[in-house]
Amino acid sequence: MLLRAAVLSFLALSGPALAQFGPQGPPAVGVAPAERRPVTESAEFVGRIEAVNRVDIRARVTGFLEQRLFQEGSEVEEGAPLYRLEHPPFEAQLAQARASLASANATLENARVALARARELRASGAGTQAALDTAQATERTANAAVLGAQAQVRVAEINLAYTDVAAPIAGKIGRSVLAPGNVVSPTLTEPLATIVSQDPMRVAFNVSQRQVQELRTRYEGRGGLDATRVRIRLVDGSLYGQSGRIEFLDTQVDRNTDTLLVRASMPNPRLQVQGQAVDSRELVDGQFVTVLLEGIEPVLSVVVPRAAVLQDQGGFYVFIVGENNAATRRNIRLGRTVDGIAVVEDGLQGGESVIVEGIQRVRPGAPVNPGPASAAPAAGGAPRAPAR
C-alpha cells in the first residue's frame, strides 16, 4: 500500500511536467537570428501610363481628302505632312480675294486724287467745304475697303494653308479614321487621327491619404521626393529597365476615393534589336502597370523570416528564445514583406533568436529546445520591401 501511494504521489507531481515536456523534454523549435540588413524601401501602387502630349488631328476647313501621307502606327516628326486636301477651290478663293484687293486699291487711289482736287478748289475759293468733306469721307471709306480686302486675302491664304495638314508634335500616330476621297470638315465629331508623344512618358497613380502621410514621414528627413525613385512592373511581371522621378502631386484630394493623384516622368527610349534602334517602344499610352515607389538609398533595418510573425487581437508578435531557453513573446510593429522576409520597424533590436519552426508547440514562458531553422532568410543583397 505504501508503494502504491508513493507511485500515485509521484505521478500526480510529475503529471504536469510530463504533459508539458513529453517523453523527450521541451519541444524542439527552429530559430533564426533577427538580422540588421540594408533594405530598399518600396511601396506598390496600381498606375497607368500616360503620354505627356496628346493631340487630335482635325480638319480646319471643309474639302475633299486627296492624300494620306503617313503610315498608320508609325512615329512622325513635328511638322511632318499628314493629309492633303484638294487645293483648287481654295486657290480660286485666294485669287478672288486678291482681285477684290486690287479693285479696292484702285478705288482708294481714285478717292485720293478726288480729295486732292477738292482741297485745291477749296483753297482757291472755287470749291465748297461740303465737297471737301465728302471727298475726305470717300477716301477714308476706300482706305477701309482696302484693309478689309487685305484681311480677306489673309483669310484665303490661311484656308489654303489648312489644306496641308502637318503634325503639330512629334510622336506616334494612330489609325486614320477617313480614307482619301471623303469630305472632311471641322464639324466632324471624331478626329482624323491622334498623335501621342513617346519619350518621356508619364505614369499616374493614386495614393491614399494614409500612405501619403507614411511616405512623408519616411522620406522628409532624407530629402523628400529627391530621395525616391519610381520603377514599374509590366503585366508579364518583369521590371521595366528605366526608372523615373515624381514630377507632380495634385493639390486636391479626390473626395470620392480619398486619394491623391501622383505623376512621375519615365524615359521611354526606342527598343534595341541586334544593336539597332527600331520603331517601337516598351511603354504605350493607356497601359496598366504596377508602380514601385522606392527609396534611392537602402536603410538598415531589422528583418526576420515572415513565417516567424504571428498575429492576434493585440497585433503582430514573434517568439524569441530568452534566458534558460524560455520562449518569450515580443510584440512588434511589422513593416513590409518580400520573398518571405519581413521588416520589423519596432520591437526587435537585432541579434535576437526568433522562433521560426515549431511555433505551434510553443507556450509563452515555457522552455524550448532551440536549433537552427531549416529555412533561414536568404543572404546577400539588399532585399526590397514593398508595401503589404
User: Does pLDDT of 272 surpass 50?
Assistant: yes
State the Cα angle at 75 between 72 and 78, rounded to 5°: 115
Question: CA dihedral defined by 256, 259, 260, 263, rounded to 10 degrees?
Answer: -100
pLDDT value of residue 165: 94
Confidence at residue 24, expressed as pLDDT on a 0 to 100 scale:
65
pLDDT tens profile 313-340: 889 999 999 888 889 999 998 877 777 8
Q: Does residue 92 have a pLDDT over 90?
A: yes
| CA–CA distance, 284 with 103 (Å, rounded to integer) | 56
Burial of residue 150 (number of CB atoms within 10 Å: 0-12, 13-18, 19+): middle
Tell me the pLDDT of the chain averaged across its residues.
85
| Average pLDDT of span 87-93 | 94
Rama region for 275: left / alpha / beta (φ>0; ψ in -120 to 50; rest): left
| Predicted pLDDT of residue 271 | 85
Rounded to the nearest angstrom, the gap between the alpha carbon of residue 369 and the centroid of all alpha carbons in its chain is 52
Q: Where in the chain is the domain with CATH 1.10.287?
A: 88-161
Mean pLDDT of 258-276: 86
Of residues 249 and 279, the one with the higher pLDDT is: 249
The SS3 call for residue 90 is: helix
Tell me what the mean pLDDT of segment 351-359 comes to: 89
Q: What is the pLDDT of residues 201-220, one digit of tens each?
A: 999 999 888 888 878 877 77
Phi, psi (degrees; rounded to nearest 5) at 271: -70, 150
The single residue listed with the C-alpha cell 507632380 is: 248
Confidence class for position 79, pLDDT limits 50, 70, 90: very high
Q: Where in the chain is the domain with CATH 2.40.420.20?
A: 27-40+299-385
Q: 296 pLDDT band (50/70/90 cuts)?
A: confident
Strands 341-346 and 63-68, sheet pairing = unpaired
Q: pLDDT value at position 13? A: 41
Question: Does 379 score more than 60 pLDDT?
Answer: no
Is residue 169 scored above 90 in pLDDT? yes
Q: 27-40+299-385 adopts what CATH topology?
A: 2.40.420
Q: Which region among 8-22, 34-48, 271-285 has the lowest average model confidence (pLDDT)?
A: 8-22
User: Which part of the chain is CATH 2.40.50.100?
Assistant: 60-83+164-196
Q: What is the pLDDT of residue 277?
A: 65
Q: What is the per-residue pLDDT for 331?
A: 92
pLDDT class of 21 with cuts at 50, 70, 90:
very low
CATH number of 60-83+164-196: 2.40.50.100
So what's the pLDDT on residue 210? 84
Asked if residues 82 and 76 have their Cβ atoms less than 8 Å apart, the reply is yes
Looking at the chain, the domain(s) classified CATH 2.40.30.170 span 43-51+198-295
pTM for this one? 0.68
What pLDDT shows up at residue 106?
Answer: 95
**pLDDT given at position 264:** 94
Looking at 3.40.1390.20, 2.40.30.170, 3.30.565.60, 2.30.30.110, the CATH number of the domain 43-51+198-295 comes to 2.40.30.170
pLDDT in tens, 114-168: 888 888 888 888 878 888 888 899 999 999 999 999 999 999 999 999 999 999 9
CATH class of 88-161: mainly alpha
What confidence category does residue 192 fall into, taking pLDDT thresholds of 50, 70 and 90?
Answer: very high
